[in-house]
Structure 1
Amino acid sequence: MNNKIYDLIVVGGGAAGMIAAITASRDKKSVLLLEKLPQIGTKLKATGGGRCNLTNTLDNEEFMQMFGKNGRFMQDALNLFDHKSLMNFFKEIGVETHAPDGFRVFPSSHSSSTIIEALLSEMQRVGVEILKSQRVKKLLHVEGKIVGASSETQTFYTKNIIVATGGLGYPTLGAQGDGLEMAKEVGHFITELHPAMMPLQTREKWVEKCRADTIAKVELRVDMKKHSKIKAFGDLIFTKNGIRGPVVLDAARDLTPLLDKYGEVPILLNLTKGMNEEQLLKHIKNEVAKNQSASILELLTTLLPAPISTELCELSGIKTDLTYGKISGECRAKLIKLLAWTPLSIVGHEGFKMAMITRGGVDLKEIEPKTMQSKVIDGLYFCGEIMNLDGPCGGYNLQWSFSSGFLAGKLK
């Protein structure tokens, strides 16, 4: 039995929870952090392929726009703690950061362990009490006010709780939606939940033959009139049963809800670095002028890897050993069309087990953006992925975790 009354209890030892605990403890609050796993920062360890893409260099206005219609909710948190503040914070606790491509910010070590160790060390320095292997089951409240939390083995007392348990993505790293259930139990509305940032499966089987290469600067767009504004840009990799890579991770945020609704989502891919039909035709004719005897496959490999070129020829009804002059006008036109926009049908995904983040969460209308405090229960705060706010790849979601965690840790 722990009869101590803490100023704050933080539930969840990820990025948002750790910075919230540090912030409150620096403000001379007594803080207890409860983590259900035996280790702190497990999901953070996997971020950015273990390299930990902390944030990016966009200004706050552009940053918010990348989160879509809910992005404006972040304004107060970002004004208080933006990417520059985050980099300064890490510098203060001994971690140098840099942006090698001028955009994505990493620890100079390019190791998430550096970040986790520094946060853990700072929590210990400022006196945060940490209890691991403590799964919180219930938020305790009386007359609309927080009074504590109970785990499977203990009850803890406080007037303030920050729930920073994340969403449902990466269940192998501890995500089981505990915080969402707790929020629901005390009266919060949870929006529809979808897995996001994940590989996608296609109906087309030819993708399996194209797995060897990464295609750079691909544009992906949804081929449905009602949803034609959904687009993503980035590198693409074909897989045994579909597609993955940054462009797919970004698009998946919008595609998984559509899949639930329609069962299949047609998409178009520009695999030729933005070239349109006219530019593609001109490029091929220029290549023919250089070498009249070149096969169509040789001509196409000036644009795309051979396996993809072969598949596009097959889809166009063209034998790969023919010269351009021997191909019918109809087949040429079909090939150019396919080179400009390659159609695929998205038919599935592997659910939350492969999802890096969750789309959906605690309804933002029920959270005060100036403090991150619940409008339903006094003394209850949320930060990070548990809220209905998610962004694309590139440090967006981690910056939001740190910004919202910092703001929540200030307590009202």
Structure 2
Amino acid sequence: MYQTIVIGGGPSGLMAAISASEQGGKVLLIDKKDQLGRKLQISGGGRCNVTNRLPYEEIIKNIPGNGKFLYSAFNTFDNESIIQYFESKGVKLKEEDNGRMFPVSNNAKDVVTTLLKHLEHNQVEIKTNLTVNQLLLTEEKITGVDTDRGIFQAESIIIATGGKSVPQTGSTGDGYRFAMQAGHTITELFPTEVPITSNEPFIKSKVLQGLSLQNVALSVLRKNGKPAITHQMDMLFTHFGLSGPAALRCSQFVYKEQQRQKKQDVLMMIDCFPEESLHELTARVNRLLKDQPDKAIKNSLKGLVHERYLLFLLQQAGIDETTSGHHLKKEQLTEFITSLKQFSLTVNGTLSIEKAFVTGGGVSVKEIHPATMQSKLHDNLFFCGEVLDIHGYTGGYNITSALVTGYVAGLNAQKTTSH
């Protein structure tokens, strides 16, 4: 008999087991893979972006999927608590762009090792390579779990099984099944932080494949042509569509816009000069052409944007790259300059949820107490991490959500059992 059983050994499960064991009592952590913390090992390109140092308001803004649900949990454990936790355990952290926090060592292993040592120190029992088949439910009370190696009983259960993305780490959606067994609602699951797909002829012909554009504004457009969302950062053209930070952040809005537009293709727009108005850009291009009226346009505009993109947009506007500035047709030049600010393309979806960094959707947060992560349907059932319908952008926001909800779930699961 355990006081608390935690199902899932990812970031939220590890933190939940640590937090529960801090209160004393017997804690069991179960994972179906042979190794704990697999997702942490590969996060941040193997460097592990443990949290983000931005103020609450900014963190919530960067968790477009139900970020506001986390306000109550932040009162108990927040991003600064995460930083203090790791630094007190000897993992020095450093701040990088946009508040992202990494270990000074640039090694995710240090983060995982610290959590595992803490579990060992707190005498948390760990069972790996163990698959949970179902929860044990009797007269509306959950009494434990049924696994492929027998039954384990507990006074409280924490489900920390992750989403459906990066399935090689063990997140294959088991937690949704357990939640439904306990009567919980699972909102629609969809991929977020995932590359975007397109059937545009220029994508199919791979003319821009591998080309990266820096600091552009990438927008997903609504049916009325207004932006549903715009992200200003780097993006990348691929052989199937768009990738890179801006595209990943736009991906969930492509999905949502497609749902609104009954699965039709969605328009996106690229603005290479978000800091300049169309008027200012037109004046600048005209100056460059005027200064070198006899030069081929591809030379007089060299350096304006990446050469491959410049040649591509000239071609799209029907301009021969060897044409000199004073031989240009006015309407062709207008079309070219407009495309620097408003190049639009149709996209037809995203890669699959398995290819996504983050899962959108999950256990409905309406059925969870925000201050404790306790189920509103069962007093002794708790949820944390990506199994919940909470999703953020990459940049330390999802790990922050996982560690915060994990800590709060562990703390309150033990409190429930000690009454």
Bucket of the pairwise TM-score, normalised by the shorter protein: over 0.9
Contact in 1 for aligned 2:132/2:148 (Cα 8 Å): yes
Residues 51-62 of structure 1 mapped to structure 2, 5 A cutoff: 51-62=47-58
Mean CA deviation greater in 181-190 or 201-210: 201-210
Which whole-Å CA distance do the structure 1 matches of 2:68 and 2:96 have between them? 28
Q: Residue 274 of structure 1: CA displacement?
A: 3.5
Q: Residue 240 of structure 1: CA displacement?
A: 1.0
Look up the match of 2:25: 29
SS in 2 for 1:373: coil
Residues 22-101 of structure 1 mapped to structure 2, 5 A cutoff: 22-68=18-64, 70-101=66-97
Q: Which amino acid aligns with 1:200?
A: I
Look up the match of 1:189: 185
Residues 253-288 of structure 1: CA deviation (Å, up to 9, x unaligned):
221233354231111111234333212212212322
Residues 120-151 of structure 1: CA deviation (Å, up to 9, x unaligned):
11111111111101111111122222210111
Q: Residue 225 of structure 1: CA displacement?
A: 4.1
Residues 156-305 of structure 1 mapped to structure 2, 5 A cutoff: 156-207=152-203, 208-225=206-223, 228-260=227-259, 261-305=262-306
Matched, 1:128 2:124: yes
Contact in 2 for aligned 1:219/1:234 (Cα 8 Å): yes
Structure 1 residues 356 and 69, CA gap change in structure 2 (3 angstroms): closer
Which whole-Å CA distance do the structure 1 matches of 2:124 and 2:324 have between them? 71
Which whole-Å CA distance do the structure 2 matches of 1:69 and 1:389 have between them? 5
Look up the match of 2:324: 323
Identity %: 33
Contact in 2 for aligned 1:144/1:378 (Cα 8 Å): no
Mean CA deviation greater in 68-77 or 107-116: 68-77
Structure 1 residues 125 and 143, CA gap change in structure 2 (3 angstroms): same
Aligned-residue Cα RMSD (Å) equals: 1.6
Q: Residue 48 of structure 1: CA displacement?
A: 1.5
SS in 2 for 1:243: strand
Q: Residue 102 of structure 1: CA displacement?
A: 5.8
Look up the match of 1:397: 398
Q: Which amino acid aligns with 1:214?
A: S
Which whole-Å CA distance do the structure 2 matches of 1:65 and 1:305 have between them? 32
**Could you tell me the TM-score, scaled by structure 1's length?**
0.95
SS in 2 for 1:159: strand
Q: Residue 119 of structure 1: CA displacement?
A: 0.9
Mean CA deviation greater in 49-58 or 63-72: 63-72
Give the number of equivalent residue pairs.
408
Residues 216-235 of structure 1: CA deviation (Å, up to 9, x unaligned):
21211122246733222211
Which whole-Å CA distance do the structure 1 matches of 2:179 and 2:132 have between them? 12
Which whole-Å CA distance do the structure 1 matches of 2:236 and 2:392 have between them? 21
Residues 341-376 of structure 1: CA deviation (Å, up to 9, x unaligned):
111111133202210111100001100001000011
Q: Which amino acid aligns with 1:199?
A: P
SS in 1 for 2:228: coil
Residues 155-211 of structure 1: CA deviation (Å, up to 9, x unaligned):
110011110111111122222100011101110000011011111111223242223
Which whole-Å CA distance do the structure 2 matches of 1:183 and 1:274 have between them? 47
Q: Residue 403 of structure 1: CA displacement?
A: 0.5
Look up the match of 1:364: 365
Structure 1 alignment gaps of length 5 or more: none
Q: Which amino acid aligns with 1:251?
A: C
**Could you tell me the TM-score, scaled by structure 2's length?**
0.93
